[in-house]
Every structure is written in C-alpha cells, then in structure tokens.
Amino acid sequence: MGRYKYHDDWEISYQYDCHFFVKCRSLKDALWIASLIDDNSLITVHADCEHDGVKTTAHVGIRIREARGKSISEIIELFDIQVDEYMRTAEPGVYAIGDVVPTAWLAHVASKEGCVAAEHIAGRDPQPINYDRIPNCTYCEPEIGSVGLSEAKAKERGYDVKVGKFPFSALAKAKILGETEGFVKVVTKAEYDEVLGVHIIGPQATDLLAEACVALGLEATAEELGRIMHAHPTLSEAVMEAAEAVHGMATSI
C-alpha cells in the first residue's frame, strides 16, 4: 500500500497508514477511481469503495466558470494572482485573498488574509501572515493536526533539531474515552529550544492544535510549554508531556 502523504512528517504518515491498513485492509483494493472527466468547464471524479461487502460511490464535480476555451494550465494561472505581504496586487487599489492567490486553500487562511487586507485598506499597520505557522487539519479517523515545520523540513532549513513525542496510550483521558491511538510530536530548535512545529494524530487533534498555534506565535520554548500546568485528566496534557519529552522529562512515561 502506498504511504499516506500528510504534510512532511513521516511518522504521522506511518501512523495513519497503520490505522488505515487495519481498518480497510488495503487502500489499493478498497478504493479505485472509476472515471475522470475534464471538459474544460467541469472536472468530474467518479470513485468507488468497497469494504466488508458494502459498496460506496462518490461523484464529485468542480465547475470553473472562467474555463471556457482555456487549457488546464491556463485555468491554473487564473488562481495565481501575485500579492505582497499586505495582499496588494500589482493593480493599484486592488487586493486579493483566498483561493485566487498562491497560498493554502483553507478557510482560516483566507479569513486572516481578508483581515490583513481590510486593515491595510483602513490605513492601519497589520502584521503580515507567517505562512510557516498555518494550522493544517485533516478531519479523518483519527484526526490529524499540524502547525509549523516538520522534523524533515526543519533539517532541510539547516536547523539542529530536538524532538519530543508522547503517545495518547499513556494518557488517562484518552483511556477514559477509549481513543488511545496516536501521539503528539514537538519539534524544536536545539540551540534555543524554540518550538518550530507541533504534529498531532489522535483524538481531537484539530482542537488540541490551538495551543500549539499560540506557542509558535509567541515563540515559546519547549521548556516553557512543558512547564505550563495542564488540567488532569485532559487530552491537552499530551501537548505538555510531548514538550517535556524534548528534554526527557515526560512524567507519564
């Protein structure tokens, strides 16, 4: 089975692969694309999935109104409006945000881009978006949440990294919920202990990610994140314990 590619963290990918293999045996055998139709104005995907004798069919179409008479490459160019850090285009007085600019196609990204543009139009001095700190969420089973740099990406940028991991299987609240699969992984810059990224797979991962976003936004260190008292029993303790694990100080394992 081909590896599920999530962000840049191979451990998250491997964990999800293991889960999916157990649940669905084999992606290759369970899911196949029946047809893919592109008529320049409507791209349609027809997919079938069969598991335990139950067959499911999905039919998804994406309509591009401006596509008349244009090739696929020309269509893509329609969604590539270049902007500066304040979302200004090359046309004076014209701003662009969201899916028409070459940033992540996520609602929360477009919303913040809109805020930056609106504040700049109003004559304020907004803080440009740091696209390295965009929260990425995958609403699957188990959930996946990630913000900041992966271990591999941090190393590519030349950082000497230290990593802390903590499994939900060692967490009281996860045991209470009966959802012990997954872990929290904290990636830090070894020299200054600054948190570079947090990656989560497990119960309510997309909600737990908010704390990680705050930590990165405030340039917190792993020591600072680990010293913050978290209520017990809660799932959020996994974030604290993973930060402690960076220095071998996790208390529950």
List, by residue number, the catalytic residues: 232
Beta strand 136-138 with 54-63: parallel, antiparallel or unpaired?
unpaired
Question: DSSP character for 246?
Answer: T
d(CA 218, CA 18): 34
Which residue bears the tokens 């090359």? 90
Distinct helix (H) and strand (E) counts, the chain: 9, 8
Cβ atoms of residues 30 and 8 within 8 Å: no
Which residue bears the tokens 């028409």? 100
d(CA 251, CA 236): 14
The closest of 87, 98, 90, 91 to 121, measured between CA atoms, is 87
d(CA 152, CA 16): 18
Q: State whether the Cα torsion 193-199-203-208 is positive or negative.
A: positive
